[in-house]
Structure 1
Amino acid sequence: MGMPTVLVLASGRGERFVASGGTGSKLQALLAGKPVLERTLEAVRASGLPWHLEDAGHPGMGDSIAAAVAATRSAYGWLVLPGDLPLIRPDTLVQVAKAIEDHVVVLPVYGGQRGHPVGFSIECRDALMGLAGPDGAAHVVRAYSRMKLAYHLQVDDPGTVADVDTVADLQDAERLLRS
């Protein structure tokens, strides 16, 4: 069996970033001299996993996930990774991908906080392709959690929870990158 495909979601409007004083797209904001999205993509490429960039400007995260899964419907599963997680480590992506072999849904957890990428096995394909709206795959995760089919994978990667939504988040990411 092959490895799942990383779905990099880059369709959001970044309204919180602008509201916090940022200018332009948060994904193009510079983090230590490189755009946030480029840092995320570097980690994805370094993981060696297949990947797909979904940047078509969908109205909600659910719509973005549905479009990305439809575009990669023959994949062996999916890792949903928002493009605003520039500190994610390649080995964490591989760790989640490997866990999908034994679990339907994989939720990485760092320091007691759930993060990304969330992994989905091929069993979730139809549910993911039916998503729409702003809540992403939250109801799919809840449904599989109720069935005791969601696995909480403990990871040692602060990048799983270090998303850049505001200017303060960008500054925090700079500090984490330097440490």
Structure 2
Amino acid sequence: MITPHSPVVLILAAGRSTRFIASGGTLNKLQTPLCGLTVLDHVIRAAQASGLPWHVVTKADGEGMGDSIAAGVRATPDAGGWLILPGDLPLISAMSLRSVAEGLGSALVVVPTWNGQKGHPVAFGAECFNELAQLSGERGAARIVEAHRANNQVLRVAVADRGTVLDVDTVDDLQYVQSLMGTDGQ
């Protein structure tokens, strides 16, 4: 159940996988098998294990990440914030999701980093509802992060999770992630 204080993990799964298919993939990357589950199922399992409410965005009015974010935010208006999580990060850990969510207690926007690289999910407080609900196009919420960075309202949270930066955009990416899952015992 969503309470006014619970941020929701928005799992973005409305993309067309054009780069993945162009690289030789035969299915939408999120439906591609990976170590016994689909890529998307790995992400959903992490969201479930985090204990946070979650919502999968499979349709949006437009075709860009901004459209998907807006659709998810509008579908969960009572959330205490949102963790924007692309559905192609199968190594993401539940602990990272919780760490980013906890950061919302001291900042309006939270950006996880792994070894200095910005990753996902990026979290936004409930006060960002209008900005997020009006997004459209490919760029996602980057301009919102930058606007709040200028006002010192962005917290960077270092996480020990390479899953925050390793996405599956190509068949080679999928094979690399699969090799890591084999060595990590996942």
CA distance in 2 between partners of 1:173 and 1:48 (Å)? 24
Task: Give the equivalent residue in structure 2 for 1:132.
Answer: 136
**TM-score when scaled to structure 2?**
0.94
* Number of matched pairs: 179
What is the distance in 2 between the residues matched to 1:63 and 1:178? Answer: 35
Q: State the TM-score, normalizing by the size of structure 1.
A: 0.97
1:3-56 CA-to-partner distances (Å, cap 9, x unmatched) read 200000000001000111111100011111210001110110111100111001
The answer as to 2:116 corresponding to 1:112 is: yes
Asked if the contact 1:3/1:98 (under 8 Å) is kept, the reply is no
What amino acid is aligned across from residue 6 of structure 1 in structure 2? V
- Residue 61 of structure 1 aligns with an amino acid whose one-letter code is M
For residues 56-77 of structure 1, what are the alpha-carbon distances to aligned partners after superposition, in whole Å with 9 as ceiling and x for unaligned?
1541110110011011011000
> 2: distance between equivalents of 1:167 and 1:47?
28
Residues in 1 aligned to 2:144 and 2:130: alpha-carbon distance in whole angstroms? 10
For 1:151, which of 146, 151, 155 is the aligned residue?
155
Distance 1:27 1:123 in 2: 30
Deviations 1:106-146 (A, max 9, x none): 00000111000000001111100110000010110111111
Contact 1:60 1:133 in 2 (8 A): yes
Question: Match for 1:10 among 2, 9, 13?
Answer: 13
Instruction: Give the superposition deviation at 1:178.
Output: 1.7
- In the alignment, which residue of structure 1 is the partner of 2:67? 63
Question: Map of 1:67-106 to 2, 5 A cutoff?
Answer: 67-106=71-110
Runs of 5+ consecutive residues of structure 1 not aligned to the other structure: none
Opposite residue 137 of structure 1, the aligned amino acid is: A
How many Å separate the matches in 2 of 1:160 and 1:178? 18
Once residues 31 and 115 of structure 1 are traced to their aligned partners in structure 2, the CA distance between those partners, rounded to angstroms, is 21
RMSD value, Cα: 1.0
> Alignment partner for residue 45 of structure 2, among 23, 42, 45?
42
